């Protein structure tokens, strides 16, 4: 019975991996096509510059370069804002979890919060070696005596 369950679990993992691999391949193909489109657009722009007088071409090249620099700066700032937002969310999550854990009784039933994108389980247990079959915590580092204090001394 365990071998059947293991086979079913393995097959589910393989199916999930196949789906994720297909998504990754599609994303890579789209990224490569976008890069090729950008190269083609740059080449066409350079051909247009070659057909212009040198003064007009120089002005338009400068304008195009300024536009590219602005787009790069805007993208960098957007990425920076995204990174800062993620960091603030993680800090808030960690602060909430710490506050909830402090109020929990040791060995009590873990709190489970299901969202659309993840499941958060919060519990208080000095023995993390048997918390979940989904995780493997080595005993010497993650198993404390049952009567050990909550706060380290």
Task: Give the tokens for residue 56.
Answer: 């007009």
Task: Report the percent of the chain where pLDDT is more than 90.
Answer: 47
**CB neighbour burial string for 125-152, b if at least 16 within 10 angstroms, e if fewer:** beebeeeeeeeeeeeeebbeeeeeeeee
Between residues 4 and 24, the one the model is more confident about: 24
Question: Are the C-beta atoms of residues 111 and 122 closer than 8 Å to each other?
Answer: yes
Structure tokens at 120: 């958060």
Q: With 70 as the cut, is the pLDDT of residue 153 above it?
A: no
pLDDT at 119 over 70: yes
What are the tens digits of pLDDT across the range 14-53? Answer: 988 998 999 999 999 999 999 999 999 999 988 998 898 9
CB-neighbour burial class of residue 51 (10 A; exposed 0-12, middle 13-18, buried 19+): exposed
């Amino acid at each position: 019975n365990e071998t059947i369950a293991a086979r079913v679990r393995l097959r589910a993992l393989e199916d999930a991996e196949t789906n994720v691999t297909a998504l990754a391949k599609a994303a890579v193909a789209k990224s490569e096509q976008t890069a090729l489109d950008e190269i083609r657009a740059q080449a066409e722009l350079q051909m247009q510059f070659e057909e212009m007088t040198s003064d007009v071409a120089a002005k338009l090249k400068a304008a195009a370069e300024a536009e590219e620099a602005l787009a790069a700066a805007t993208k960098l700032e957007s990425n920076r804002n995204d990174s800062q937002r993620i960091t603030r969310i993680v800090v808030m999550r960690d602060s909430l979890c710490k506050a909830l854990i402090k109020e929990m009784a040791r060995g009590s039933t873990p709190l489970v919060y299901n969202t659309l994108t993840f499941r958060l389980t919060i519990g208080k247990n000095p023995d993390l070696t048997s918390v979940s079959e989904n995780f493997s915590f080595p005993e010497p580092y993650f198993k404390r005596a049952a009567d050990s204090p909550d706060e380290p001394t």
